[in-house]
Amino acid sequence: MMVKKRGNNGDLMKERLHPFQLSILIYTIQNGLVLYSLPRYTAEYFGTNGWISIVFIFVLVNINILMIAFIYKLGKGRSIFEIIDKTVPKWIMVPFYLFIICVWIGTASMIMRLYIFIFKMMFFPALPVSLFIFFFILLSFQMLRGGLYKMTKAIVVLCAIVQPMLFLLFYLVPEFEFARFTTFFFKGGTDFFKGALHVYTAFLGIEVSILFFPMVEKKWTKALFIGNLLTTVGYILVTAICYGFFSFNQILNDLIPVMTLFEYTEVSFLSRAENLCFSVFAFKILSIIVIYFWGAQQFLGNMMKKMKPNVWIFIILACAFLFAMLPDSIVDVEKWLSWLSYCAIGIAWALPLFVLCILFIQILKKLIDRETDHAK
Amino acid sequence: MGRLRAKFKKIFLQKDTDFVKVPNNQQLNRHPQASKDDTTIMEASNHEKFTEATYEKTITELGNGFDLVHRSFNQDEIQIIYLSSLVDSQTLEWEILSPLRETNFNIYDKSFQQSLYRRENNQEKVIIGILNGNVAMFIGENTFLISVSGFEERAIAQTETETVINGPHDSFNEALHTNVSLIRRRVRSPRLKMIKLSVGEISKTKVVLIYIDGIADMDIVNQLKARIQSLKVDSITDSNVLIQIIDDHQNSPFPQFYTTERPDIAVSKLYAGKVIGLVDDSPNIFCTPSTFFDFFESPDDYNQRWIIGTGVRILRYMALFITLILTAFYVSICTYHYEMIPQSLLQSIMQSRSRVPFPPIVEAIFLEIVIELLREAGARLPTKIGQTIGIVGGIVIGQAAVQAGITSNILIIVVAVSAIASFIVPSYIMSSSIRIIRFLFIVMAGFMGNIGIFFALGILTIHLTGLTNLSSPYFMPISPTFVKDWMESIVRGPYYKIKKGQPAMQNDGEKERK
C-alpha cells in the first residue's frame, strides 16, 4: 500500500469505498423529507392501510437497482462516461447532460427550500430564509471540497447522529392500537398511479450511485440493496406506527403527520422532542442535497474537462442558492418539487436503460468484430 | 489584485496546505557535488570544501566566551579547548587533565586508541563537537574530540499535567539522554530501533524517532523522517512547535499529533505499532499516527478493571458532549424554544431569568469569558496567590453577579458544569481546542436556536472526519468503520480479547489517498 506523496491534488480518487460505508451512504441519501408527509400521501392516494404500498414501490426500486448492478457487471467496472463516450459523440449528449444537471440541482434546492419552509412555519416565523440557505450551502461546500471519500466518512458520522431519532418511537407504543388499522385494504384511495409516483420520490437519490463506479471496491452492489432495504424498513416502521396511532381521517387532515407523532412523545426532562428531531433531520437533508450536487459536479466535470473541479463547486452552489431563493410559499415549492421529482424519476429509469442499450450495442459490435476477424 | 486572488484561491480552493516538497534524493548531504556518481570527484571536492582544523582557527571562530577554556600542555605541544558549561568536570579531570599532567608524552599514542577519543580533521565538525560538550585536543597535525559531556538537568519528577491515580509516576524531562533511558529500560528488546535526526540551522536540536521493528509500519517511519528532514527553520524550541510545523492541516484547531510526558504511555504506543519522536530540550514526546480518540485515553483506564475503565471512557465522551452543547442548549432554549422546558422547571428558570436585563446569549458569552479569564489567570499566577484568587473568583464573583442581577443562577450552574466537563479530557491541548469550539456553538445557538447548534455540530463533524495525521484518517475507527477496533479505542475491552502481537493499525486498506 503506497502512501501517497504529498502535493498530488486533484480529483484522482484512488481511495475505494467499502460496502459498509456505501450502504450507510445509500441509506442516508435516499430522500427523507417525504417521510414526514408519507403517511398522508399513502392515505390520500391509496386509501386505508396505504403503508403496504411502500413494499410494492420497494420492489420497483429494486428493479432499478438491479439495472445499475447489471451495468456495473457488464461494463466491467468502467464509469458510465467512458461507456457512453465510446459510442455516442459528445455533442449529442450535451443537452441531456445539461438537463440532468438542472434537474438534480433543482431537486436539491427544492428539497432544501421545503425543509426550510416547514422549519420556519413551525418554529421560526421571523428569521430570514437566506440565513438558513446560506448555512446549508456553507456546509455543502465544506463537504464537497473533500471529494466523495471524505463526504462518505462525514455522512457515516452524521447518520449515526440522526438515527437515535427512531428510538423515540418506542415512547408511542402504549398508545398504539392495531384496531386503528381497519380491516380494509386500499379502500378510499384516489389515484394509484400518481400515488405510486409520489411514494417513489421517497426512494430517489439512489440513481446517483450510477456515478460511483470508478470509486468502489468490487462486489459493492450488495451495498445498494442493503441501503435500500434499511430505508424501506425505516419508512415502514414510521408509517405503520403512524397508522396505528392516528385514525384514518386524522392522517388525511394533517399536513405533516410524522411531526405530530413526535409531538406526542414525552420524555421526562424534555417536552417537545419534535423540535430536536426535525433539527437533527437537517443532517439527512444535507446529505441528500450534497449527493445531488456531487452528481451534478461529476456531469459538469465530464462535459468540460479543462476546468478544475473546484470551480464547478462554486458555480453549482451559486445556482442552488439563487434557485432556492425563488419560491415564495409552500404551495409553490411543492409544485416545483413534484415536477422536478417526476423528471428525476424519469432520469432514474432512462439513464440506466440508455447505458444498457449502449452496452448491448458495444457487446454486439465486439462479437461481430471477433467473427469477422475469425473469418479473415 | 493578483495577490488578493491568490489569497482567495489559497483559502477556498486548496484542500490543505501545501507541504514542502521532499526532494527525491533526500540525503543529508550538504555538498551539492555529492549527487554525482563519480566518487573521486566527490572526495576531491570534499577535500576542497572543508578546512583543516587548527587551534588558531577554532579559537577565532569561537571567540572569547565566558565559558570557553583553553589549556596547553608540554610547552604548547598539546592544546585543548572546551566549553566549561557543557562538560562534566569530574570526568574531565579523571579522563583528560590528570593523565595529561602526569604521563610521559611519548606513549600517548596508546591512550588515543580509547573509544572516548575520536580523530576529527574537519574544522566544521570540530566546532560542532565542542558545542556538543566534547573537548577538542590539538596535537601536532591531528585533532581529537573527546566525549565528556555532562549537562545539568532536572531530576525525574512527577508530571503536573497528566497525573494518574494508580500507576507509575515518573515523567520525561528535558534531557534527551534521560528520556531515551526511560524508554530503553521499559523495552528491553533489540527490536527497538532509533533514528537520529537534527532540526534547526542554528539550534541543531536533536530529534530521535523510536519504533519497534516488526510491529511499526515502515511507511510511516519513512514519511515522518522525510518530513522532519525537509524542514528549514532556524530553531525549534519545543516538540509542540515541531509537530505544528510538520502537521498535515495547520489551520485546524485540533491537535493532530498526540503528545505526552509519561513514559508508560509512550511505551504502550510503541507496542501498538506507532512511532514516537523525542526532541531534545522538551519533556513532551509526540507519537504518530494518532486519532481523535487517542486524546481521550488515560493510563488509569488500563490500570483499573475493564468494566470501570469502560465506564470512565463513556463518561469522558459524555463530558465532551456536555461541554460542547450544554451552554449552547441553554441559550437556544431560553431564546427561541421555550416550549421545550419541562413544566416543573419552568418556574425556577422564569424567576431567575426575570431579573436579568440581557438576552441569554449575552449573559452566556459574558460568563464564559469570565471563566476563560479565570482559567488563564490561574495558569499564570504565582502559586502563592493562586489559591486566594481561585476562591475569590469562583465563589464570590459568581454569587455577587447573581445577586446584582447580571446573570441568572441556572446559567452559573450550566457554565460551571460545562467548564468542569471540559477538564475531564486527559490531554490539555485537546481540551483547549474544545473550549474554543464551544464559543462557536454558543454563537450559532444565539442566532438560530436548535438548528444552529446542529449546524455547528455538522461543521465540526465534517471538519473532524476530514482531518488526517500523516495520511492516516483522524476519526478512525468510527469512520472509516472498523468495529473490531472499537474494543481498543472507544471502550476499554477486557484483556482476554486482545491477542498477542496484534497491532492497533491493522487496517491496511485505509491509508488516505487523495
pLDDT in tens, A232-271: 999 998 888 888 888 888 888 888 888 888 888 777 777 7
Contact B481 A1 (CB under 8 A): no
Contact B478 A156 (CB under 8 A): yes
DSSP B25-94: S------GGGGSS-HHHHHHHHHHHS-B--HHHHHHHH-S-TTEEEEEETTTTEEEEEETTTB-HHHIII
Q: Number of A:B CB contacts under 8 A?
A: 136
Nearest to A235, CA basis, from A63, A56, A67: A56
CA angle A368, A369, A370 (to 5 degrees): 90
In whole angstroms, how far apart are CA A332 and each of A40, A121, A327, B459? 19, 15, 6, 30
* B419 and A CB contact within 8 Å: no
CB < 8 Å to A18, chain B = 480-481, 509
- Given a contact cutoff of 8 angstroms between Cβ atoms, the answer to whether B336 and B450 are in contact is yes
Residues of A in contact with B458 (CB under 8 A): 139, 158, 282-283, 286
DSSP, collapsed to helix, strand or coil, labels residue B381 as: coil
Q: At what angle do helices B306-335 and B409-422 cross, to 10 degrees?
A: 140
Go through chain A and tell me how many residues it has. Answer: 376
Q: Is A264 on the interface with B (CB under 8 A)?
A: no
Contacts of B22 in chain A (CB under 8 A): 5-6
- B330: burial class by Cβ within 10 Å (0-12, 13-18, 19+)? buried
- Taking the Cβ of residue B482 and every Cβ of chain A, the question of whether any pair is shorter than 8 Å is answered with no
Q: How far apart are alpha carbons B218 and A3 in whole angstroms?
A: 11
pLDDT at B258: 93
- Test mutation, A27, A135, A165, chain B, max B CBs within 10 A: A135
Return the pLDDT at A7. 29
Residue written as cell 422547571?
A: B345
Packing angle of the helix pair A221-245, A19-29 (nearest 10 deg): 40
Alpha-carbon distances, residue B125 vs A212, B128, B134, B371 (angstroms) = 58, 5, 11, 53
Q: What's the CA gap between A290 and A107, in Å, rounded?
A: 11
- Which comes out higher in pLDDT, residue B223 or A272? B223
Helices (H), A123-173: 129-144, 147-162
Pairing of strands B205-212, B468-469: unpaired
CA distance B514 to chain A (A): 6
The answer to whether B454 contacts A279, with C-beta atoms less than 8 Å apart, is: yes
Contacts of A282 (CB under 8 A, 6+ apart): A115, A136, B451, B454, B455, B458
Q: Among B340, B453, B478, select the one facing A270 at the smallest CB separation.
A: B340
Using a CB-CB distance cutoff of 8 angstroms, which residues of chain B are in contact with residue A124? 336, 448-449
For residue A1, list chain B residues with Cβ-Cβ distance below 8 A. Answer: 219, 508-509, 511
Question: Hey, is B251 helix, strand or coil?
Answer: coil
**Are B458 and A5 an interchain contact pair (Cβ–Cβ within 8 Å)?**
no
100-129 in B: which are within 8 Å (CB) of A? none
Which distant-in-sequence residues (6+ apart) come within 8 Å of A320 by Cβ?
A105, A108, A109, A112, A137, A140, A289, A293
Which DSSP string corresponds to A249-280? HHHHH-SSHHHHHHHT--BTTBS-HHHHHHHH
Å from A106 to nearest chain B CA? 22
Q: Does B230 touch chain A (CB under 8 A)?
A: no
Output the pTM of the full model.
0.85
- Inter-chain residue contact B478 with A308, CB threshold 8 Å: no
Residue B229: helix, strand or coil by DSSP?
helix
What is the per-residue pLDDT for B32? 41
Distance CA(A79)–CA(A77), nearest Å, equals: 6
Q: Looking at beta carbons, which residues of chain B come within 8 Å of A123?
A: 336-337, 449-450
How does pLDDT run across A181-225, given as a tens digit for each residue?
Answer: 877 777 777 778 888 888 888 888 888 888 888 888 777 888 889
- Amino acid (one-letter) located at B302: Y
Cell, residue B122 = 574537519
CA distance A32 to A203: 8
A272 has pLDDT over 90: no
Q: Locate B311 and state its grid cell.
A: 465506564
Cβ within 8 Å, pair A1-B475? no
Nearest C-alpha in B relative to A116: B451
Ramachandran sector of residue A7 (left: φ over 0; alpha: ψ -120 to 50; beta: rest): left
pLDDT for position B320: 93
Over residues A18-58, the pLDDT tens digits come to 888 888 899 988 878 888 888 888 888 888 888 888 898 99
Omega of the bond prior to A89 within 30 degrees of 0, cis?
Answer: no
Distance CA A327, CA A336 (A): 9
Report the SS3 class of residue B139.
strand
Is A312 near chain B, with CB under 8 Å? no
State the amino acid at position A351 in one-letter form: L
Interface test with A, best of B26, B461, B507 (most A CBs within 10 A): B461
Within an 8 Å CB–CB cutoff, is residue B22 touching chain A? yes
Measure A373 CA to nearest chain B CA, in Å: 42
Separation in Å, CA of B114 to nearest CA in chain A: 45
Residue B47: the pLDDT is 40
The better pLDDT of the pair A302, A141 is held by A141
- Torsion (CA) B188, B190, B191, B194 in degrees, nearest 10: 90
* All cell numbers assigned to B88: 562534566
- Taking the C-alpha atoms of residue B494 and residue B305, their distance in angstroms, rounded to an integer, is 8
What is the rounded distance in angstroms from the CA atom of residue A95 to the CA atom of residue A345? Answer: 18
CB contact residues (below 8 A), chain B span 447-466, against chain A: 447-451, 453-455, 457-459, 461-466
What is residue B507's predicted lDDT score, i.e. its pLDDT?
Answer: 42
CA B288/CA B106 separation, integer angstroms: 55
* Neighbouring C-alpha atoms within 13 Å toward the C-beta of A125: 0
* pLDDT, chain A, mean: 84
| Residue numbers in A near B336 (CB within 8 A) | 123-124
In a structure prediction context, what are the per-residue pLDDT tens digits for chain B, which is 514 residues long?
A: 567 766 666 565 554 443 433 343 333 334 443 333 444 443 433 443 455 667 777 777 777 778 888 888 777 777 888 888 888 888 888 777 777 777 655 555 656 666 667 777 778 888 888 888 888 888 777 778 888 877 888 888 888 888 888 888 989 998 898 999 999 999 999 999 999 998 888 888 999 999 999 888 898 899 999 999 998 898 888 999 999 999 888 899 999 999 999 999 999 999 888 999 999 989 999 998 888 988 998 888 888 888 998 899 999 999 999 999 999 999 998 988 888 888 888 888 888 888 888 889 998 998 899 888 888 888 888 877 777 777 777 778 778 888 888 888 888 889 989 989 988 988 888 988 998 999 999 999 998 888 899 999 999 999 999 888 887 888 887 777 777 777 777 777 777 776 555 544 444 444 444 3
For residue B285, which phi and psi values (nearest 5 degrees)? -115, 155
Instruction: Report the DSSP pairing between strands B142-147 and B205-212.
Output: unpaired
Cell 436556536 sits at which residue? B449
- 3-state DSSP call for residue B209? strand
Q: Compute the distance between CA of residue B14 and CA of residue B18 in angstroms, rounded to an integer.
A: 8
| Matching residue, cell 504518530 | B288
Closest CA to A81 of A56, A60, A102, A100: A100
- Sort out which chain A residues have CB atoms less than 8 A from B454's CB and list them: 279-280, 282-283
Q: Which three cell numbers stand for residue A66?
A: 438491479
Q: Which one, of B309, B308, B284, B287, lies nearest residue B299 by Cα? A: B309
B contact test, residue of A1, A2, A3 with most B CBs within 10 A? A3
Of all residues in chain B, the one with the smallest CA distance to A13 is B514
Neighbours of A302 (CB within 10 A): 18
